[in-house]
């Protein structure tokens, strides 16, 4: 599985630990920054990471910022992206089962590394349940396709 990862400066330390964890699990990981604790703009990182998931260059992604909210908002601006701000194991699981989310967003200020590993493992190993849930995901995709080319 190819995984894209990115963070802002507030999520940098957690991202570095997650990178090592993913590589130990033999995942192919591409790091889109940031590369230090120097202040940076989270939307730019979020757009880059979401872009490679949206165009199919990565299967899934992980984004990290201080609250998880900003990165989720930025990522969800791209067509085909279903990013979830995740704070517990149930959200990690249901976001995949019910919503077929493709980006996990973690809150560095509220997520210990041991918990992040649990959320990531669940997110990467849980499949979509399909059926009635897939119908709803398709409704989102159909709406997105209608917006393409239209000014909002």
The pLDDT tens digits of the residues spanning 14-51 come to 999 999 999 999 999 999 999 999 999 999 999 999 99
Q: Strand, coil or helix: what is 145?
A: helix
CATH number, domain 2-147? 3.40.1400.10
Give backbone dihedrals phi and psi of 32, rounded to 5 degrees, phi first: -105, 15
Stretch 67-78: mean pLDDT, rounded? 97
Do 71 and 42 form a contact (C-beta atoms < 8 A)? Answer: yes
- Predicted confidence at residue 152, as pLDDT, reads 47
Residue 142 has pLDDT above 80, yes or no: yes
Q: Which of 25, 139, 17 is nearest to 82 (CA)?
A: 139
Per-residue tokens: 18: 């997650």
Lookup result for tokens 């604790």? 37
The β-bridge relationship of strands 103-107 and 60-65 is parallel
Band the pLDDT of 150: cuts 50, 70, 90. Answer: low
State pTM to two decimals.
Answer: 0.94
Domain boundaries, the chain: 2-147
Band the pLDDT of 131: cuts 50, 70, 90. Answer: confident
Residue 127 has pLDDT above 60, yes or no: yes
Neighbours of 68 (CB within 10 A): 24
User: Which positions are annotated as active-site residues?
Assistant: 65, 98
Upstream peptide bond of 72 is cis (omega within 30 degrees of 0): no
Stretch 104-114: mean pLDDT, rounded? 98
Give backbone dihedrals phi and psi of 60, rounded to 5 degrees, phi first: -145, 170
Do 34 and 10 form a contact (C-beta atoms < 8 A)? Answer: no
What does pLDDT average to over the chain?
A: 95
Band the pLDDT of 151: cuts 50, 70, 90. Answer: low
């Amino acid at each position: 599985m190819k995984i894209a990862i990115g963070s802002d400066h507030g999520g940098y330390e957690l991202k570095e630990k997650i990178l090592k964890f993913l590589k130990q699990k033999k995942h192919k990981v591409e790091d889109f920054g940031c590369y230090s604790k120097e202040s940076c703009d989270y939307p730019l990182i979020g757009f880059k990471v979401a872009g490679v998931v949206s165009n199919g260059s990565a299967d899934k992604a992980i984004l990290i910022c201080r609250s998880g909210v900003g990165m989720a908002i930025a990522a969800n601006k791209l067509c085909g992206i279903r990013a979830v701000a995740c704070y517990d194991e149930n959200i990690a699981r249901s976001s995949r089962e019910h919503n077929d989310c493709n980006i996990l967003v973690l809150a560095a200020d509220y997520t210990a590394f041991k918990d992040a590993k649990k959320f990531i493992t669940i997110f990467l190993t849980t499949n979509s349940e399909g059926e009635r849930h897939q119908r709803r995901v398709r409704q989102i995709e159909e709406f997105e396709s209608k917006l393409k080319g239209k000014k909002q």
